[in-house]
Amino acid sequence: MQTKSNSLKYSISERTKAQLQELLKKPLEVIKLDLHMRELEEIPNEIFSFQNLTELNLKNNYLRHIPKEITSLRRLEKLELGGNNLTSFPEFICDLFNLKYLELSWNKIDTIPESIKNLQNLEVLILSNNKIKYIANELGLLSKLRILDLNNNEIKEIPDSIGELISLEELYLFENDISKLPDTIGNCKNLKKLELQQNYLTEIPDTIGKLVNLEKLRIYKNQLKSIPSTIGNLKNLSKLLLYENQISELPDTLGNLENLVEFDISGNELRILPETMFNLKHLQKLSISNNSFPSDYFFLLKEKFPQTKIECDY
């Protein structure tokens, strides 16, 4: 934590105090409150007088805990607590039943508690850049969740209950310690964006082929040796990034990805691409460098993809 001079601490606290005193003149008219970067070490009690508050931003302060009084803000829909010093998930937050947006990134949280199930109206949950190792199965009960961001944690396992997130559109799991995905991932049929890069995945389940609305898939920098043929079902996929894995062969079904715009397979062990890929008329960028293609392969690709930008070793 950075050191704060007394004069700076005084001026900041006086500024915040003056703002809150002014707002307390008409507390029920306060709907949104932004107190980010105020060097707060605790939440000012004055905030709990704003009973109609729907949005509260307390990002980038020095908060170590969230008091029970937070539950008095029954109308709260958006709560931002990123960039503080929280070492555990503030469970009192799970009593804010109207929350739709919860942001807790850049803290030191290590667990998502079972009580997360209480936030039945939650649509966005951001817990990136923490120390999370464990995800409670109850996370799957958040049927309205559209965006789940758990990147840059210490997660090793994704619970099967992830497949119960039927409204999920964006899932960010990159930079973790994940070695396997549950088959139930295929049940997230509204998923449009899936980011799994920089993990320890050795395979992708066949059920990924059920994600027919998927538009962007990033699985680079893992330990994949192959890709399931069911990937050909992803007709809406526009971006597929598979670079720096150990893939030696690609399925013919890649030729079914009729909306693919960008495909990066560089840094693998390929000697040839499936001929079916030559049917990909919308492909704008193809990256194949650092593989084992023949020296003249570029000329064949240039003939087959005359309008595509091709990145290779030649």
Distance CA 38, CA 11 (A): 10
| Same domain assignment for residues 133 and 169 | no
pTM: 0.94
Position of tokens 């693998």? 268
Count CB neighbours of 7 within 10 A: 8
| Same domain assignment for residues 61 and 108 | yes
| Same domain assignment for residues 87 and 205 | no
Secondary structure string (H, E, C) spanning 237-287:
CCEEECCCCCCCCCCHHHHHCCCCCEEECCCCCCCCCCHHHHHCCCCCEEE
| Same domain assignment for residues 251 and 190 | yes
> Is residue 144 a part of any domain in this protein?
yes
Read off the pLDDT of residues 27-43 as tens digits, 9 standing for 90 and up: 999 999 999 999 999 99
Residue type, 36: H
Q: Rg for the chain (alpha carbons), in Å? A: 24
Distance CA 33, CA 299 (A): 60
| Same domain assignment for residues 122 and 171 | no
Read off the pLDDT of residues 174-210 as tens digits, 9 standing for 90 and up: 999 999 999 999 999 999 999 999 999 999 999 999 9
**CATH number assigned to the domain comprising residue 208:** 3.80.10.10
Read off the pLDDT of residues 128-171 as tens digits, 9 standing for 90 and up: 999 999 899 999 999 999 999 999 999 999 999 999 999 999 99
| Same domain assignment for residues 54 and 107 | yes
> Is residue 3 a part of any domain in this protein?
no
| Same domain assignment for residues 173 and 45 | no
Distance CA 162, CA 181 (A): 10
| Same domain assignment for residues 52 and 142 | yes
> Is residue 234 a part of any domain in this protein?
yes
| Same domain assignment for residues 143 and 174 | no
Residue 174 · residue 195 · CB < 8 Å: yes
| Same domain assignment for residues 302 and 192 | yes
| Same domain assignment for residues 93 and 188 | no
| Same domain assignment for residues 150 and 175 | no
pLDDT for residue 313? 81
Q: What is the number of domains present in the chain?
A: 2
Per the structure, the complete domain to which residue 183 belongs is given by 164-314
